[in-house]
C-alpha cells in the first residue's frame, strides 16, 4: 500500500479529475489515513471459505417487508412523541 | 380504493435528490444549483398519481455525502433494495441506494410503500414480486413471532412475541466495509459531473482542464473527500485489499443475517448498527431516539432507539 503523502494525494486527485489548487490537501490526507484504517480493519475478517461476492452485490436475501410492519405496529405502534405515549411504550416493552 | 385516491390530498415532502419534472433538483450542491429536472422520478410520479400533493423539497447534505437528518419522533423506513424504483433518484452508492420513507406512523409508511413499490422497467434492479396492500398487515397477530436480538444487546421485553438470541459475528466489520464500498460507488457515480453535459461548468482558461476546475469549484469539501476516498479504494494498488475484500466481507455479513433469520422472524438492533443493513439491502424500520428518550430506558438498559429488520 502506498505511503499517503502529499504527492500521493495529488496523484489520486488527478485520477479523480479534481483540481487540487488551493485544496485542503491536509484534510484529504487525514481522510485517506482513516480509509487505510478501514482497509486494515477488514483485513482481519476471515473470508477464506464459501465466498461468492460479485462486485456490487447489493441485493437482498428475500424481499418481504411484511414482518417488520407487524412488529413495528406492536412494538412501537403510532408514537408521534415520547411523552404523550410513554404509557403505551411502558405497557408494551 | 383505487390507486388514484389512495393518498388524495396528502401532503408529501420529497428530498432534493429525487427528480420532479420542471422543478429544481439540486442535491444541495453548487454542481446542480440551477438544475431543473427533465423528468419525474418513478416514485414521485406514483405519489402524484395516487393524489398526493408535493409541498416541499427536504434539504439534505450535499449529494447525501455526510450528515443524517434527525428523525425527531418519526419513523424511517427503508424498503428492501429493489422494492421501490430508483429511477430518478440521483445516484449515491448504487448497490445500496433506496428511496426511504419517513413518517409519523407505521400506517403512513405502509400506505406510501403500497403506492410507490413495484417493478419498474426503467430500473432493472426492481423486483417483479407483486406489491401487497401493506396496511392489511398492520394489525396482524404477532403471537408466535420470534424477535432476534444480539447476545449483549440492551433489554427488550414484550409479551406479544418471543425473544431469541442471535449472533452476527461479522457485524464488527460492517462500518469499515460500508465506508469503503459506498466511497467507491460514490466516486464512480460522481464522474458524470464533468462540466460538459449538465450542471455547473467552470470557466476554464487556456491550458486549464475544464472538468477538473468544474469539479473543484462545484463540489463541496465532504463530497471531495468521499471522491478521493473512492479513488483510493478503486486504485489498482488497493483494489484487491480494499474493494474486493470489502465485497467479500459484505457477503459474509449477508450470510450472518441469513443464518440469524433461520431462528427469528425479525431482528431488533440499536439504530447505531445501521451499516450492515445498508450492505444487505434488508427492509428496516428505524425509530427516532425521541421515542425512547426517557431516563427509565437508560436506567434499565432498555433500547433507546430501535431498528426492526425483516427478511
Give CA–CA dist B84/A56, Å, rounded: 18
Q: Which residue has the cell 392489511?
A: B136
> Residue B228 phi/psi, 5° resolution?
-60, -40
Is the distance from CB of B274 to CB of B300 less than 8 angstroms?
A: no
Residue B74 pLDDT class (50, 70, 90 cuts): confident
Give CA–CA dist B58/B16, Å, rounded: 6
Residue A56 pLDDT class (50, 70, 90 cuts): very low
Q: What share of chain A is helix, strand, coil (3-state, %, to 5)?
A: 55, 0, 45
Select from A10, A23, A42, A54 the residue whose CB has the most chain B CBs within 10 Å, as the one to mutate to test that interface: A42
Bigger pLDDT: A25 or A79?
A25
**CB-CB under 8 Å, A78 with B231:** no
Residue B229 burial (CB count, 10 A):
26
**Rg of chain A taking only CA atoms, in angstroms:** 24
pLDDT of residue B65: 83
pLDDT at B33 over 80: yes
Give CA–CA dist B282/B269, Å, rounded: 13
- Alpha helices in chain B, H assignment, sequence order: 42-49, 106-116, 174-190, 210-218, 221-234, 239, 245-260, 275-280, 295-299
Bigger pLDDT: B156 or A72?
B156
Distances from the Cα of B14 to the Cαs of B6, B27, B56, B94, B181, in angstroms? 18, 12, 7, 19, 26
pLDDT of residue B64: 85
**CB-CB under 8 Å, A78 with B104:** yes
- Exposure of B31 in the CB half-sphere (CA atoms within 13 A): 27
Mean pLDDT for chain A?
70
**CB-CB under 8 Å, B176 with A38:** yes
Mean pLDDT for chain B?
88
pLDDT of residue A77: 45
Most confident region among B134-138, B149-153, B173-177, B279-283 by mean pLDDT? B173-177
Q: Count the residues in chain B.
A: 311
pLDDT of residue B40: 97
Is the distance from CB of B209 to CB of A19 less than 8 angstroms?
A: yes
pLDDT of residue B291: 53
Cβ neighbours of residue A65 closer than 8 Å, sequence gap 6 or more: B79, B80, B83, B113, B134, B283, B310
Q: Which residue has the cell 485544496?
A: A23
Q: Which helix (H) or strand (E) holds A13?
A: helix A6-15
Give CA–CA dist B238/B231, Å, rounded: 10
Which ipTM value was assigned to this complex? Answer: 0.90
Average pLDDT (B61-90) is 82
Classify burial at A92, counting beta carbons within 10 Å of its beta carbon; exposed 0-12, middle 13-18, buried 19 or more.
Answer: middle
> Residue B22 phi/psi, 5° resolution?
85, -5
pLDDT at A80 over 60: no
The model's pLDDT over B8-27, given as tens digits with 9 standing for 90+, comes to 999 999 999 999 999 999 99
- Numbers of helices and strands, H then E, in chain B: 9, 9
Instruction: Give the DSSP letter of residue B18.
Output: B
Select from A20, A33, A38, A80 the residue whose CB has the most chain B CBs within 10 Å, as the one to mutate to test that interface: A38
Could you tell me the end-to-end alpha-carbon distance of chain B, in angstroms, rounded to an integer?
Answer: 28
Query: Strand B53-58 and strand B284-287: pairing?
Result: unpaired
The model's pLDDT over B195-233, given as tens digits with 9 standing for 90+, comes to 988 889 999 999 899 999 999 999 999 999 999 999 999
Average pLDDT (B88-97) is 92
Kindly report the nearest CA distance between residue B22 and chain A, in angstroms.
30
To 10 degrees, the CA torsion angle through B256, A69, B162, B266? 0
Beta bridge partners, B163, equal B147
By Cβ distance, the residue of B125, B156, B242 closest to A39 is B242
Residue A78 pLDDT class (50, 70, 90 cuts): very low
Amino acid at each position: 500500500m502506498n505511503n499517503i503523502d502529499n504527492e500521493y494525494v495529488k496523484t489520486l486527485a488527478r485520477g479523480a479529475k479534481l483540481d487540487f489548487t488551493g485544496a485542503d490537501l491536509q484534510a484529504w490526507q487525514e481522510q485517506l489515513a482513516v480509509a487505510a484504517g478501514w482497509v486494515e480493519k477488514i483485513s482481519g475478517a476471515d473470508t477464506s471459505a464459501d465466498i461468492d461476492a460479485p462486485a456490487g452485490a447489493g441485493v437482498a436475501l428475500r424481499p418481504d417487508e411484511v414482518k417488520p410492519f407487524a412488529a413495528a405496529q406492536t412494538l412501537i405502534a403510532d408514537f408521534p412523541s415520547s411523552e404523550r405515549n410513554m404509557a403505551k411504550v411502558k405497557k408494551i416493552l | 380504493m383505487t390507486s388514484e385516491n389512495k393518498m388524495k390530498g396528502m401532503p408529501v415532502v420529497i428530498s432534493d435528490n429525487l427528480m420532479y419534472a420542471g422543478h429544481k433538483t439540486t442535491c444541495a450542491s453548487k454542481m446542480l444549483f440551477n438544475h431543473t429536472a427533465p423528468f419525474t422520478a418513478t416514485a414521485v410520479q406514483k405519489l402524484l398519481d395516487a393524489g398526493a400533493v408535493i409541498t416541499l423539497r427536504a434539504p439534505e447534505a450535499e449529494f447525501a455525502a455526510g450528515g443524517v437528518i434527525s428523525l425527531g419522533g418519526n419513523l424511517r423506513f427503508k424498503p428492501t433494495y429493489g422494492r421501490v424504483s430508483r429511477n430518478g433518484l440521483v445516484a449515491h452508492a448504487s448497490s445500496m441506494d433506496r428511496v426511504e420513507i419517513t413518517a409519523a406512523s407505521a400506517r403512513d409508511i405502509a400506505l406510501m410503500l403500497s403506492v410507490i413499490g413495484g417493478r419498474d422497467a426503467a430500473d432493472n434492479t426492481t423486483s417483479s414480486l407483486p406489491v401487497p396492500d401493506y396496511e392489511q398487515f398492520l394489525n396482524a397477530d404477532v403471537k408466535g413471532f420470534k424477535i432476534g436480538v444480539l447476545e449483549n444487546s440492551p433489554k427488550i421485553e414484550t409479551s406479544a412475541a418471543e425473544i431469541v438470541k442471535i449472533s452476527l459475528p461479522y457485524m464488527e466489520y460492517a462500518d469499515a466495509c460500508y465506508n469503503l464500498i459506498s466511497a467507491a460507488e460514490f466516486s464512480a457515480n460522481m464522474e458524470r459531473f464533468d462540466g460538459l453535459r449538465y450542471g455547473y461548468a467552470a470557466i476554464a482558461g487556456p491550458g486549464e482542464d475544464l472538468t477538473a476546475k468544474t469539479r473543484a469549484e462545484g463540489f463541496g469539501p465532504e463530497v471531495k473527500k468521499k471522491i478521493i476516498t473512492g479513488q483510493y479504494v478503486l486504485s489498482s494498488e488497493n483494489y484487491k485489499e480494499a474493494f474486493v475484500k470489502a465485497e467479500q466481507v459484505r457477503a459474509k455479513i449477508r450470510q450472518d443475517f441469513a443464518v440469524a433469520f433461520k431462528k427469528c422472524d425479525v431482528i431488533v438492533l440499536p439504530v447505531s448498527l445501521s451499516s450492515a443493513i445498508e450492505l444487505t439491502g434488508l427492509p428496516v424500520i428505524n425509530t427516532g431516539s425521541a421515542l425512547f428518550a426517557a431516563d427509565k430506558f437508560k436506567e434499565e438498559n432498555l433500547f433507546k432507539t430501535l431498528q426492526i429488520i425483516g427478511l
